Amino acid sequence: MRILCDEMLNGIAQWLRVAGYDTTVPTPGLPDDQLMNRARAEGRWLVTADSDLLGFSEAADYVIYLQGGDDEARLRELTQRLDLDWCRAPFTRCKNCNALLHEASDWEVAHYYPGSIRLDGQSVWACSSCCQLFWEGSHVRRMRAQLEAMNRWR
Q: Does residue 75 sit in the same domain as residue 123?
A: no
Q: Are residues 72 and 116 in the same domain?
A: no
How many domains is the chain built from? Answer: 2
Instruction: Specify whether 77 is located in the same domain as 109.
Output: no
- pLDDT attached to residue 28: 92
Does a structural domain hold residue 140? yes
Please state, rounded to an integer, the average pLDDT across all residues of the chain: 92
- The answer to whether position 60 is within a domain reads yes
Clarify whether residues 106 and 59 are in a common domain. no
pLDDT at 10: 95
For residue 116, what pLDDT is reported? 57
Whole-number pLDDT of residue 100:
97
Domain boundary among 82, 111, 141: 82
In a domain, 90, yes or no: no
Measured CA to CA in angstroms, residue 41 lies from 36, 37, 62 at distances of 9, 6, 11
Any domain includes 142:
yes
Banded model confidence at residue 24, pLDDT cuts 50, 70, 90: very high
Same domain, 109 and 78: no
Percent of the chain with pLDDT over 70: 95
Among 54, 82, 110, identify where a domain stops: 82
Q: Interhelix angle for 138-151 vs 10-18, to 10°? A: 100
8 A C-beta contact, residue 47 and residue 5: yes
The pLDDT tens digits of the residues spanning 62-113 come to 999 999 999 999 999 999 999 999 999 999 999 999 999 999 887 887 787 7
Quick: pLDDT tens for 3-17.
999 999 999 999 999
Same domain, 35 and 73: yes
Domain of 108?
101-151
CA-to-CA separations, 153 to 9, 22, 81, 85, 132, in angstroms, rounded: 19, 21, 11, 10, 30
Are 128 and 99 in contact, with CB atoms under 8 Å apart?
yes
Helix-, strand-, coil-residue percentages of the chain, each rounded to 5: 40, 15, 40
Residue 117's pLDDT band (boundaries 50, 70, 90)? low
User: Strand pairing partners for 2?
Assistant: 22
